[in-house]
Structure formats: C-alpha cells, structure tokens
Chains A and B, each alone.
Chain A
Amino acid sequence: MGLSNASSGINILQEELKIEKTTAEDRIVALGGNPNVGKSTVFNSLTGLNQHTGNWPGKTVTNAYGSYKYKGRNFILVDIPGTYSLMANSVDEEVARDFICFGEPHTTVIVVDATCLERNLNLVLQTLEITSNVILCVNLMDEAKRKNIHINLKKLSHELGIPVVGTSAVKAIGLSNLMEEIYNISYGRFKLSPMSIRYSEEIEKAISMIENKVRAINQSKLSSRWISLKLLDGDLNLINSIDKYLDFDLSKEKNIVKEVERAKNYLKSMGIDRDSIRDIIVTNLISISERISKKVVTIENNGYKSLDRKIDNLLTSKKFGIPIMVLLLMIVFWITIRGANIPSEILARGFSFIERNLSLFFQWLKAPAWIHDVLVLGIFRTLSWVVSVMLPPMAIFFPMFTLLEDLGYLPRVAFNLDNFFKKSYACGKQALTMCMGFGCNAAGVIGCRIIDSPRERIIAIITNSFVPCNGRFPIFIAVISTFFVNFIKGTFQSLVLALILTSVIVLGVFMTLLVSKILSMTILKGLASSFTLELPPYRKPQLGRIIVRSILDRTLFVLGRAVVVAIPAGLIIWLMANIYLGDSNILTYTANFLNPLAKLIGLDGYILLAFLLGFPANEIVIPILLMSYMATGSLIELNSLAELKGVLIANGWTWVTGLSVMLFSLMHWPCATTCLTIRKETQSLKWTLVSFIIPAVAGFSLCFLVVNLIRLFSLL
C-alpha cells in the first residue's frame, strides 16, 4: 500500500464538510483567491441562496459551499479561505491548501484582483504547483479599467497554460464564461498543460533526487514533484496533513527520509543552507509573477493610485484621521436614532393590533385566563417588544456599517487605532472586531478569527463586550433622552444625543484598551506579535447588494436569535411577575433582596434584576424594568418620554441613577448568545468565565467609584 487516496471512494475531507453529491456526476469546484478580491461576490453570484455555511472540521475557520446548475450538470462550489499563499503560515492557509490537496476538487478556480495582478499571481503559481486543473478568474475588471490598467487575458492564459476569464462579478459580467470553463475543465473536455515552475539548477537537481523515491510510492493525485519540493522545504505541516488525509506517514519512510537528507546535504555543498531553501522558493515564485505581470499588464498613466492616496492622506492624517472617524461614528448613530423612531412606532402599533386580536381569539376559544396571560401577555408581548425595538435600528445600522466595510474604510480604522492596540500589546485588527461588536457582540467574537496570534485573539474575544451592541442602544437612548438632553428641543436634540452616545462608546473603547493591557500584563502575558495589515483600494460600493446582504446575513440572523431567546425569557418573566410569595411577587421579592448591593453602585434592586433577567438578550432590560416598576405583571411600553421620565422619577431615579445605568449597561456580563459563542470559539470554559466576569467586575467597580465620588462631592 502506497501513498494513495482512499480507495473506498469516500473522501475524508468531503465527508467531514458534509458535502453531499446528488449524483456521482456532480463536480466539486474549489474557489480560492487573495482576501478582498471579490471572491465571495463570485461565490454568491454563482450559487445564489443555495448555500451552506459552517466550520472547517476542527478549525475556527468559516466554511461555505453552495451549488449551481450549468448545462444540466450540478456543480458544488467550495469557498476556501482567502489567502495570499498556500504555505500554511496560518490556519486559513492550511485549510485552503488542504482542500486543494485532499478535498479532491475537479477544478480549482483562483480569483484575482485585476488592479493588483502581480501580487495575486503568487497564489496562482502555488496552486499550479499542486494541481493542473486550475482556472484563473481575473475579477474587478471594471475597477481596473477605471484605473487605466489593461490586462492582456489571452497572453496571460498563454503564459500560465490555463483558462483565464475576466469578470466584474458585482455586475455579473463574465460569469457565464467562467461557468463554461468550469464545465469544460471539470468534465475533462480539454487537457491542460500548465506552465511548469522551474527553480535554479541546484534546487532542480535536489528535487529530482527525492522525486524518484516519492514517485515510486505515490498513487495519489498529488504531484510527486510538489511533494518532493515540500520535503526539501521541510514542510512538516504538509507531512502531517498527508498522514491525516491519506493515512500515510512520509516521515516513517526510511528511503525517502534518507534521500531528503542527501538532497539537503547536496544543497549545502552548493552553498545553500536549510534555512534559505524557503527563501529561494518564495523568491522564485515572486520573480515569475513579476515577469508575467510585466508581460501582460499595461498601466496607461502611472498615477492610478493617486485618488486613493489623496483619500488616505485625509482619512488617516494626523490632524483629521481620528476626528473624521469619531464624526463618522456619530453620523451613523444619529441616522440610526433618527431613522428608527418611526418604523419602531409603526411596528409597535402593528403588534398591539395583533395582540388585541389574539386576545379576542382566546376569548372566543373560551381559553382559561392564565393561558391567555402566559401566551399573549407573557410570550407574545416580549417577542413584539424585542422585534419592534431591535429591528428598525438594526435594519438601518447594519447597511450603513456594511457600506463603510464595502468602501474599504474599516481597515483604515484599524490603521488609525493600531498604535493604541500596540501599546496594549494587542493586535490592531482588534479594532475591526470591535466594529463588528457594535452590531452584535456574538458576531464580533466570531470575527476575532481574523486575528492570527492565539493570545491576541483571546484578548479580543474577552474585551469584545466592552463595545455596546445594538441591543444595548435602546437603554442608552432612553436614559440619555430622559435625563440628559430633555432640555434641548428639535433636531439639535438628536445631535446632542448622538454626541453623548458617541462619548459612551469612546469610554467603551478606552476600557477595551485598558483591559487588553491589563490582560497582557497578567493572565495573558506576552508581547504584541508583529502584524501586517493590508489597506485595500477604496471601492465603489454596490448599494443594492449591501442592503440585501446586510438584511439577510446580519439583521435577520441577529433578530432570529433574539426572537429565540425572547420566547423563554418572556415566559420566565411573566411567571416571576405573577407568582406571589405572600404579599409580593417573585420579581419584587428578588429585587428587594438585590437592593442593598444595587444601591452601592447607584442602581436599585429592580434595575439590577432587570439586567440579570436580561441575560438572554439586552433588548429586554428596559421593558422588564418598567414592568416591575408599574407592577403590571406584563411588559408595557410607554408612549412618550415624559411618561417614561415620570415613572422613573417616581421610583427614585436621578441623573446619577441614569449615569450608573449607562455605565452598567456598557459594562456588565455579555449576553447568553455571546457567552455561548465564546465557549464555542475558545473551546474553553475558563475563557468563557473570564469573559463573563471581567466586564462585570469593571462595571461594578466603575459604577461604585463614580457614584460614590458624586455622593461625596454633593455632600461637601
């Protein structure tokens, strides 16, 4: 038995990914490419809604595959992680390489950026070393045209010896050509003879020494030449993967190990030591990319990046970089707050209409009153609260956020803030995960996958909830409107509101940095790993696509999980408010118990209880609180801010209570979904607990400090 693909016909990797072919005739297509080249646009355009997402087996790397039909055949497209290289320098690269090598795709499509071809060719060449069935998809042809960059696709195809298709995926241009080529290659209608990548004479000799031995045992589809090159390079990671997927341990093949040693000694005698083999391989690939790129790319005027440069000089400048960033944040909040009011009211009215009819329906059924109360006043009302309070701001916030993302602004945020993160011994990309946290902390935690260093990733995960998510905005907005801006009238009011909200967020960012630093000096000791951040070219956003994507992928996802938690939460809260122990219900009983502790930090027992009961979703904190104050036994919504203020003041609120509530809302425990996500992402109960405790301790301490300082000063 040699080095062979599993004879049973079942591919482990396909099996683990749960890729199901409908017939044996289905073709599997791997879709790779550098990050930021529009690979996901190509993927979405081809597969539409026919997608499955999940994780790569055993890895926290997102995996997506989808299918489409072409000429009556079924194609399964696997979206492999976007990488610059396949040399397994990161988990993403390892996953990408493993799928190309062991996932047995019939065709591998590499998507490249037409405006940056030379850089992208490195990945193409590395793929060609592994497999011959490669199609090059040169995307963003329209961008390139705008920047006066011309690419001779025919010549490029000739140079590489593989089909080359030019596309503008956002406009769906070139996709049918791409599908045609995939069809041709997948069914072997053409035999490809891709360019062979040659190395210097010495390396070639060393390769051929090993290759003979490898070929003798290699019955897999992997190229013997490539395996030999990797053995020479000392790529242990690949040897492990070969062992894992092909069940063959090359390091135990005495013949081969001996030959590799001999080849390395030969190279040493020629003046090439072990450490420089990798350098020579990479240098060769990059030189070839450079040579090909020179042949096929013509740039008409050299200043093609001049506009990007001008924008960057402004958006990342010393004077304006940070102010513009804060201003943009404020504008986003302002639009969200202003825009959400009306749809929120309409939704709330719609829900109360449904509720009234549900009540009538229960009366008609002659159902017992408690069933009506549990289902309608408990569950349905909580549900409608969550939806009407959450949906409008999210439906406004997420598209705006996606717009900034599409424009290419977010990497600039990371660039602007990196210095702070460096001083906290953390990764600059943490700024990006924080931005995702604004939408939803669980999403932010998943986003931490972009951070390579495990230490820095854990820090980013633990501190993510210091950025308030959408669900917490209603609390801030309610408190700020009632206690801090009520004396201002008109449009100006929402501007000041947005300003105060922005300050709260800046405090959250400050706490993130502070806690990151403390973590780096204590339980997560270490220095900042060196990191590199690409600032991709600014792109014209596709509005329609942004709206569809942010509503489908983000808004509905977050809303869906909020609804799932709101139903049991509604039930529990209703029960607590309606089951009496002696004179008072469980809610009041518990609140009285919590009161002394809550008073210490400027809250009261009901507020603290509302935060505790709001663990499933932060959105329900305010409604629970009002429900307990009004002792109505079910959630209520007040129609005007004046009424809200009346209730709060009647229950002993002052502006200090308001301040405390805001601080505590910014810093307490992450919601249940976020905790579960942290557990999943870190695979560790310990880090989940740490992530739960740290913001809680920070919130308690800061509230205690602020409230008691204010008390002290007002006594003096």
Chain B
Amino acid sequence: MEDKYYPLSSLAIGEKGIVKKLTSNDLMRRRLLDLGLINNTIVEALHKSPFGDPVAFLIRGAVIALRSEVASMILIEKINVEEE
C-alpha cells in the first residue's frame, strides 16, 4: 500500500494531500503530531520561500513552514483537485 504514498515535499503549490504516515521518530515525530499532523489530516501547500525551501503549508487552519527534509518525512495521499 505504501508505494501509493508520496512525501509531502512532492506536493506542488496549491495541491492538497491527506497525511497517511510519519516516518520520523522521537522528538520530530512529537513536534509534527503537536502541529496536528495525525492520520487523515488534510494539508495544502501554500507557497514557497524565495529560494524554494522551506515551503509554507496550511495545517488545520495554521500556516506552518517546513524545510524539505521535514516535509519528506510526512507521507501523504494526493487529493485530486477536480474530484473535490
């Protein structure tokens, strides 16, 4: 099943995804959970910083910037925008 998942960092601006798995452990995992990144949370890529990294995401109503290494630890399922 997991090969259907993409890292959050692969999300293009304006695209949305549903969180399916966190691959980080310990402290980083807890931080991500505290941000509300539990399973089935919808995340939207909002905008990139001037140099492309970090990227700002809309997570449960808050705008959070994540560096690419962090975003790649969050596995998501892409939401098809047309379907929505």
Interface residues, chain A, with chain B CB atoms under 8 Å away: 84-85, 87, 89, 115-119, 122, 275, 278-279, 282-283, 286-287, 289-290, 305, 308-309, 312-313, 316-318, 321-322, 415-416, 418-420, 422, 428, 528, 530-537
Contacts and interface: CB of A to CB of B under 8 A. Distances in A.
Interface string B39-55: 10100001111111110
Given A87-B30, A282-B33, A312-B56, A321 B65 contact: no
A312 B46 contact: yes
Contacts of A85: 34
B28 interface: yes
Nearest to A423: B51
A227 B35 CA distance: 24
A313 B48 CA distance: 9
Interface in B6-65: 24-25, 27-36, 38-39, 41, 46-54, 56, 58, 60-65
21 contacts: A87-B34, A89-B27, A116-B62, A119-B60, A275-B25, A283-B33, A305-B58, A305-B63, A415-B49, A418-B49, A419-B49, A419-B51, A530-B69, A530-B73, A531-B70, A532-B31, A532-B64, A533-B65, A534-B62, A534-B65, A537-B63
A317 B34 CA distance: 28
A52 B25 CA distance: 39
Secondary structure call for the A interface: helix
B69 to A, nearest CB: 6
Which of B56, B62, B66, B73 has the most chain A CB within a 10 Å cutoff?
Answer: B62
A535 B58 CA distance: 10
Contacts of B24: 530
B34 A416 contact: no
A312 B47 contact: yes
Contacts of B36: 118-119, 122, 286, 289
A463 B34 CA distance: 31
A537 B62 CA distance: 8
A428 B54 contact: yes
A308 B62 CA distance: 12
Given A118-B60, A532-B70, A422 B46 contact: no
Contacts of A308: 63
Given A282-B33, A535-B64, A530 B54 contact: no
Nearest to B61: A116
Contacts of B51: 318, 419-420
Given A89-B31, A531-B70, A534-B64, 11 more contacts: A122-B34, A275-B25, A282-B34, A282-B38, A317-B47, A416-B49, A530-B73, A532-B31, A532-B65, A532-B66, A534-B63
A275 B41 CA distance: 21
Contacts of A282: 30, 33-34, 38
Nearest to B63: A535
A418 B54 contact: yes
A416 B50 contact: yes
A316 B34 contact: no
A201 B56 CA distance: 37
Contacts of A115: 61
Pairs of residues from A and B, 6 with the lowest C-beta to C-beta distance, nearest first: A419-B51, A321-B50, A282-B33, A535-B63, A283-B38, A533-B65
B33 A318 contact: no
B38 to A, nearest CB: 4
B52 A415 contact: no
B45 to A, nearest CB: 12
Contact of B50 (A286, A305, A322, A533): A322
A286 B38 contact: yes
Nearest to B58: A305
Contacts of B56: 312, 316, 415, 535
Contact of B46 (A122, A309, A420): A309
A533 B33 contact: no
Which of B27, B49, B69 has the most chain A CB within a 10 Å cutoff?
Answer: B49
Which of A118, A287, A318, A530 has the most chain B CB within a 10 Å cutoff?
Answer: A530
Contacts of B29: 279
Given A119-B61, A321-B49, A322-B50, A530 B70 contact: yes
Contacts of A322: 50
B63 to A, nearest CB: 4
A188 B71 CA distance: 47
A309 B14 CA distance: 11
A290 B38 CA distance: 11
Contacts of B65: 415, 418, 428, 532-535
B52 to A, nearest CB: 7
Contacts of B50: 316-318, 321-322, 416, 419
B38 A316 contact: no
B36 to A, nearest CB: 5
Which of A87, A533, A537 has the most chain B CB within a 10 Å cutoff?
Answer: A533
Nearest to A418: B54
A15 to B, nearest CB: 31
A271 to B, nearest CB: 16
B52 A419 contact: yes
Contacts of B34: 84-85, 87, 89, 122, 282
B54 A89 contact: no
A312 B54 CA distance: 14
A120 B24 CA distance: 24
Contacts of B39: 283
A118 B38 CA distance: 14
Given A122-B36, A415-B65, A530-B69, A316 B49 contact: yes
A115 to B, nearest CB: 8
